[in-house]
């Protein structure tokens, strides 16, 4: 197994991680970014972004590619591998194919989609239950779909699927949609919205045929797109770092954790606003102070 040394090691190549890598590399630090899936992270799940400075509108995938190109051009190395072990005291990260030693660590592993939590959900994930319309919406052309959730992501999914599916229905667990009003205003009036409801049962044997709601309503559906928030990817840091009661990493204004030299950025951090622009800001701050920590 290879052994690699660097000044700044970044876990995650989403907007926070890529920005952190960009800033660290430009500061002259030997920088490595480890990503287990695909560069860009959850930004790839957003069809259109209209609130990122510098672009009237850009797809999430395109923005992720541009960030990756800029970070690599600055000199940061991207390694695609899976983290299997973490030793913060020895400042070492073990992956499937290499060991990485670092002086400062920036954790930017983001968050994963929250699941419905109903029976047989796991049986249908990827074949009836999805978390990304842009990724899987094409399979539901002229079919009926349910969007679960009421925030920006849910309404964006509904807008996107309205151009593909025959019928789109939104189900939200509170008495209103919480998405930005500009998004809500774009919803087709034909979209049926069920409020103060949750999905209690998935209907179908080998494929989804519909759902049942907590108010007793049954709705026919071929697919379900779940957009009810995210769960921080902090499982490997439990008992290693201070986490909030919801599992997010607690940082100070420098994005530093309770362990000196260990920083966090992006959706994994305990904060109120989670947007691409705030993830980038976190990454810039974390890299700036990670660099300062090394130079002390």
Between helices 15-26 and 276-295, what is the axis angle to 10°? 40
Residue 132 appears among annotated catalytic residues: yes
Closest CA to 151 of 230, 217, 221, 223: 230
| Gap between the Cα atoms of 60 and 43, Å rounded | 5
| HSE toward the beta carbon, residue 82, CA cutoff 13 A | 2
| Gap between the Cα atoms of 119 and 129, Å rounded | 12
Q: Which two tokens stand for residue 112?
A: 């994963």
Contact 161, 181 (CB under 8 A): no
Active-site residue, selected from the candidate residues 87, 135, 188, 252: 135
Active-site residue, selected from the candidate residues 81, 123, 136, 270: 136
Q: Which residues pair with 42 in a beta bridge?
A: none
Residue 95 appears among annotated catalytic residues: no
Backbone angles phi, psi at 7, to 5 degrees: -80, -55
DSSP state of 140: G
Closest CA to 16 of 107, 95, 97, 92: 107
Active-site residue, selected from the candidate residues 6, 95, 132, 197: 132
List, by residue number, the catalytic residues. 132, 135-136
């Amino acid at each position: 197994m290879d052994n690699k040394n660097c000044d700044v090691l970044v876990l995650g190549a989403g907007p926070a991680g890529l920005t952190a890598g960009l800033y660290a590399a430009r500061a002259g630090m030997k920088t490595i970014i480890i990503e287990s899936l695909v560069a860009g992270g959850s930004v790839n799940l957003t069809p259109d972004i209209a609130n990122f400075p510098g672009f009237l509108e850009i797809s999430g995938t395109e923005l992720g590619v541009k960030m990756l190109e800029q970070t690599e051009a600055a000199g940061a190395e991207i390694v695609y591998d899976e983290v299997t072990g973490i030793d913060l005291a020895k400042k070492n990260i073990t992956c499937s194919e290499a060991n990485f030693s670092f002086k400062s660590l920036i954790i930017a592993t983001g968050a994963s989609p929250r699941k419905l939590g109903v029976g047989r959900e796991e049986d249908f994930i990827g074949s009836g239950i999805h978390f990304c319309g842009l990724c899987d919406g094409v399979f539901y052309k002229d079919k009926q779909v349910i969007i679960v959730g009421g925030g920006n992501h849910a309404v964006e999914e509904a807008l996107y699927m309205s151009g593909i599916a025959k019928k789109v229905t939104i189900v939200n667990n509170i008495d209103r949609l919480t998405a930005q009003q500009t998004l809500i205003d774009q919803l087709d009036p034909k979209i049926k919205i069920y409020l103060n409801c949750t999905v209690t049962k998935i209907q179908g044997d080998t494929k989804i045929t519909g759902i049942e709601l907590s108010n007793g309503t049954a709705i026919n559906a071929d697919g379900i797109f779940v957009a009810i928030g995210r769960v921080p990817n902090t499982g490997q840091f439990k008992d290693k770092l201070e986490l909030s009661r919801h599992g997010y990493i607690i940082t100070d204004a420098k994005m530093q954790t309770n362990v000196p030299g260990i920083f966090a950025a992006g959706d994994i951090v305990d904060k109120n606003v989670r947007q691409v622009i705030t993830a980038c800001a976190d990454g810039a701050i974390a890299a700036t102070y990670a660099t300062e920590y090394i130079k002390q």
